[in-house]
Amino acid sequence: MKLRILGCSGGIGGSLRTTSMLLDHDVLIDAGTGVGDLSIEELSRIDHVFLTHSHLDHVASIPFLVDSVGWMRDKPLTVYAIEPTLEILRQHLFNWKLWPDFTQIPEPAKAFLRYKAVALGETVTVGGRKLTPMPANHVVPAVGYRIDSGSASLVFTGDTTTNDALWVEVNKIDNLRYLIIETAFCNREKDLAVASKHLCPSLLADELRKLKRKADIYITHLKPGEAELTMREIQESAGAWQPRMLENNQTIEL
């Protein structure tokens, strides 16, 4: 099982892409702008999209994905998310105003897109790969995901701030190998991080003190123009956990 990082930035510009990860060839974890770097053939092979939440930097590529390759496929693209997130997509994205409702195109019985609700803590198995929604604490309904190959697990927090419930679940994972956790702001923007329910380096250090398992830790969602500063502050406050910056096109094997 391989997880390819298509995007891991908190914004765009130059080579920066927003959150999106490709599990093997057919499963997306979030669908930010990084999806747009895939070829048409690669796009047509994606069958499943697991969303952490509804914010644009995590869903922006879904409308273009389904519009570009839906007609090439013999089955609908399935979008998995908690029900509140799916409802936001129905009301505010695929609503015939911002974008056509592809759950009705070309006809409901043969639609290009379908939704499937997931629930916190309930594992979804896709081709032997297990994905489990994990607690997140954000300004909209949100989850993270545990991806379990059997031999190893990766936890992706999604967008979150201080989140005791997450660590209760993470510390139960015997085969934990990787943790991808956000840090969206530098320390001087701590008030903004708190208000928007993200992390900054000092808050990250507080969260990592709750981690009782060993794991390779990667930092995602760094703000454009502040990545180097934020990583320096992370090393100063959380260096004992040896966090590294997640990078575009990085591949993580499970």
Q: What is the CATH number of the domain that holds 195?
A: 3.60.15.10
Whether 205 and 169 have beta carbons less than 8 Å apart is answered as no
Please give the pLDDT value at position 183.
Answer: 98
- Position 153 scores a pLDDT of 98
Instruction: Say what the pLDDT of residue 198 is.
Output: 98
pLDDT digits (tens, 9 = 90+) for 133-185: 999 999 999 999 999 999 999 999 999 999 999 999 999 999 999 999 999 99
pTM, entire model: 0.97
- The parent domain of residue 117 ranges over 2-253
Share of the chain above pLDDT 70, in %: 100
Q: Rounded to 10 degrees, what is the CA torsion of 99, 77, 249, 177?
A: 120
- Residue range 182-232, pLDDT digits in tens: 999 999 999 999 999 999 999 999 999 999 999 999 999 999 999 999 999
pLDDT, residue 213, reads 96
Average pLDDT, the chain: 97
CA distance 6 to 21: 5
User: Which residue from 178, 181, 156, 173 is spatially nearest to 253, judged by alpha carbons?
Assistant: 178
* Main-chain dihedrals φ then ψ at residue 220, nearest 5 degrees: -125, 170
Among candidates 171, 160, 166, which has minimal Cα distance to 212? Answer: 171
Q: Supply the pLDDT for residue 12.
A: 96
Total count of domains within the chain: 1
Which ranges of the chain does DSSP label H, i.e. alpha helix? 40-44, 56-59, 62-69, 83-92, 164-170, 190-196, 201-208, 227-238
Stretch 127-136: mean pLDDT, rounded? 96
**DSSP of 42-69, one letter per residue?**
HHHT--EEE-S---HHHHTTHHHHHHHH
